[in-house]
């Protein structure tokens, strides 16, 4: 009996020592230093946003004749500005483009009241975004003023359209066709949209980290993920090649892609006019096929560092970038930058080491790519906007010095779980903690999610109260 007690005591001492050893924090995780002079985009138009909100309130009080007259006047201005811009070679900073944007914003509160004008507004939006994409082929997209102009126009108009959609009392169509960019590669349909092999599906998931990826950028966007489509030319079967945090680069069926939680996605396609595309119209098919076979022949871990120059590991944007680069087409004509110190610190907490990289949202502003279609889930569009607002507020806190903590007393237990996950990874299985993510970062992710949920619940409560009060 005394021997048994002694062994039990020795075992408990061993567990206590092991627990203390596993409590030792990670070392060598130093903060990066930002280099360069990139500056985050800022709207600095709070007065305009307040004015538009007031215009919406006033528009609801107008007589039908007054409302029709106001809309007709702004539509006439829109037609004149569009004609001028389409017929002339204008620089990105041309005042006519600013006038087009301002007029588009002014129309939003009026269209939100008169919803039968919504189809015209959406059609006008698509014409304008196609015009901006066309004109940007001649602009120097590496010039900060040009990048600011393209972003302001494309992101700003989407934001205006969605504010109008959110006021709709009836459900609006999920799919929005934008441009039928010519393609000769095999095709299929996803969410009712015809897509071609080699297309890029830029999407937004519902997870908290998706909001961080979308908004944690010098140009905050709406998208957090990129998938490369491959359609087998013999069987016509479609596949999505994606890099997932949980399992690295993997191939998904269309059914699996559609089941995965999507708040929105956009279909993008290389322009048929590009020299590389004219020389080989099947280039997108080759890019998709090569990446499909490469992802099946060997395991490619997820790249938390977001280093698109090192292809031994890959993050989602890198899959598309690498596949096209191998075939002579360089996507992301201008690199994405993350310059705010607080955002850099937070992303570094999750393993990011490269802050000049390739972010999913920035792919929209690449002149080489046409927006073929856009899909939104009417049921979750408001959730998407709340997630953005919450994340913007959190990132503002980050830039004011807020840090991501974690419960250090849970570290030993999570490290044991991580060890088990490593063993599962060795046998090709997916663990609770993603490959490449440490136990400490897993705990920080848990803390980050809890922060987001807390602020989101409060924001949702305030929104519900506002809606009830103001109808």
**What is the Cα–Cα distance from 389 to 395, expressed in whole angstroms?**
10
How much is the pLDDT for 15? 65
Asked if 193 and 374 touch (Cβ cutoff 8 Å), the reply is no
- When pLDDT is averaged across residues 274-296 and rounded to a whole number, the result is 97
Mean pLDDT value across residues 430-449: 90
Both tokens of residue 172? 């609006």
Q: What is the pLDDT of residues 9-24, one digit of tens each?
A: 766 676 677 656 666 7
Mean pLDDT of 290-306: 95
Reported as a single tens digit per residue, the pLDDT across 25-61 is 777 555 555 544 578 999 999 999 999 999 999 999 9
> Does position 140 have pLDDT exceeding 50, yes or no?
yes
Q: Which of 240, 444, 219, 249 is nearest to 352 (CA)?
A: 444
What average pLDDT score do residues 420-442 get?
86
pLDDT, position 37? 58
What is the number of residues in the chain? Answer: 471
What pLDDT is stored for residue 22 in this prediction? Answer: 63
Q: Higher confidence at residue 322 or residue 15?
A: 322
- Residue 288 is predicted with a pLDDT of 97
Q: Which residues pair with 239 in a beta bridge?
A: 230, 253
Section 148-158 average pLDDT: 97
Query: Distance between CA 467 and CA 471 in Å, rounded?
Result: 5
Structure tokens at 91: 């620089």
* Mean pLDDT, residues 465-469 taken together: 92
Mean pLDDT of 129-153: 96
Average pLDDT over every residue of 77-106: 95
Give the model's pLDDT for residue 36: 46
Nearest one of 52, 45, 178 to 112, comparing CA atoms:
52
For 257-276, the pLDDT digits (tens) are: 988 888 899 999 999 999 99
Q: Are 436 and 304 a contacting pair, CB within 8 Å?
A: yes
Q: Is the pLDDT at 471 greater than 60, yes or no?
A: yes
* CB 75 within 8 Å of CB 107: yes
Residue 378 — very low, low, confident or very high, per pLDDT cuts 50/70/90?
A: confident
Tell me the average pLDDT across 295-320.
94
Mean pLDDT of the chain: 91
- Here the tokens at position 155 are 């992101």
Range from 123-132, 166-175, 309-318, 443-452 carrying the lowest mean pLDDT: 166-175
pLDDT digits 0-9 by tens, 190-217:
999 999 999 999 999 888 888 999 999 9
Q: By percentage, how much of the chain surpasses pLDDT 90?
A: 76
Contact criterion met (CB below 8 Å) for 288 and 197: yes
Whole-number CA gyration radius for the chain? 25
Structure tokens at 239: 């596949």
Determine the average pLDDT of the residues in 339-363.
Answer: 93
Closest CA relative to residue 116, chosen from 71, 86, 162, 62:
71
* Nearest partner of 154 among 367, 336, 392, judged by Cα: 367
Q: Give the per-residue pLDDT at 32.
A: 53
Q: What is the pLDDT of residues 173-193, one digit of tens each?
A: 899 999 999 999 999 999 999
Q: Which of 302, 301, 304 is nearest to 354 (CA)?
A: 304
Torsion of CA 355, 358, 364, 365, to 10 degrees: 60
Cα distance between residue 166 and residue 146, in whole Å: 30
Q: What is the pLDDT of residue 430?
A: 84
- Model confidence over 232-246: pLDDT tens digits? 999 999 999 999 998
């Amino acid at each position: 009996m005394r021997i048994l007690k002694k062994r039990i005591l020795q075992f408990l001492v061993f567990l206590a020592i092991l627990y203390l050893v596993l409590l030792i924090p990670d070392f060598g995780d130093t903060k990066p230093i930002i280099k360069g002079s990139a500056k985050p985009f800022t709207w600095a138009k709070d007065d305009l946003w307040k004015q538009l909100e007031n215009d919406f309130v006033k528009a609801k009080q107008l007589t039908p004749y007054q409302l029709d007259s106001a809309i007709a006047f702004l539509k006439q201005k829109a037609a004149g500005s569009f004609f001028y811009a389409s017929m002339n070679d204008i620089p990105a900073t041309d005042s006519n483009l600013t006038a087009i944007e301002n007029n588009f914003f002014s129309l939003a509160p009026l269209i939100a009241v008169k919803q039968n004008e919504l189809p015209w507004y959406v059609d006008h939006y698509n014409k304008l975004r196609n015009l901006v994409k066309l004109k940007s082929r001649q602009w120097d997209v590496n010039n900060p003023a040009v990048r600011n102009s393209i972003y302001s126009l494309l992101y700003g108009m989407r934001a205006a359209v969605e504010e109008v959609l959110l006021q709709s009392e009836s459900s609006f169509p999920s799919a929005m066709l934008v441009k039928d960019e010519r393609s000769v590669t095999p095709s299929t349909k996803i969410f009712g949209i015809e897509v071609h092999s080699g297309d890029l599906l830029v999407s937004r998931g519902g997870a908290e980290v998706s909001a961080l990826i979308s908004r944690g950028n010098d140009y905050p966007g709406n998208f957090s993920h990129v998938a490369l489509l491959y359609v087998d030319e013999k069987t016509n079967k479609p596949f999505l090649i994606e890099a997932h945090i949980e399992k690295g680069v993997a191939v998904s069926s269309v059914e699996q892609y559609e089941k995965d939680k999507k708040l929105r996605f956009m279909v993008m396609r290389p322009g048929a006019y590009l020299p590389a595309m004219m020389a080989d119209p099947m280039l997108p098919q080759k890019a998709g096929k090569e990446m499909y076979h490469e992802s099946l022949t060997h395991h490619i871990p997820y790249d938390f560092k977001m280093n698109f120059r090192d292809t031994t590991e890959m993050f989602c944007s890198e899959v598309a970038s690498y596949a096209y680069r191998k075939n002579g087409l360089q996507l992301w004509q201008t690199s994405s930058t993350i310059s705010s110190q607080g955002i850099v610190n937070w992303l570094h907490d999750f393993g990011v080491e490269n802050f000049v990289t390739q972010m999913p949202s920035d792919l929209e502003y690449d002149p080489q790519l046409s927006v073929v279609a856009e899909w939104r889930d009417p049921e979750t569009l408001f959730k998407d906007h709340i997630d953005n607002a919450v994340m913007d507020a959190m990132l503002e806190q980050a830039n004011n010095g807020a840090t991501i903590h974690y419960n250090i007393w849970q570290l030993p237990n999570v490290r044991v779980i991580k060890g088990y996950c490593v063993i599962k990874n060795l046998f090709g299985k997916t663990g609770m903690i993603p490959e490449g993510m440490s136990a400490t970062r897993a705990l920080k992710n848990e803390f980050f999610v809890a922060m987001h949920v807390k602020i989101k619940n409060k924001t949702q409560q305030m929104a519900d109260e506002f809606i009830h009060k103001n109808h």
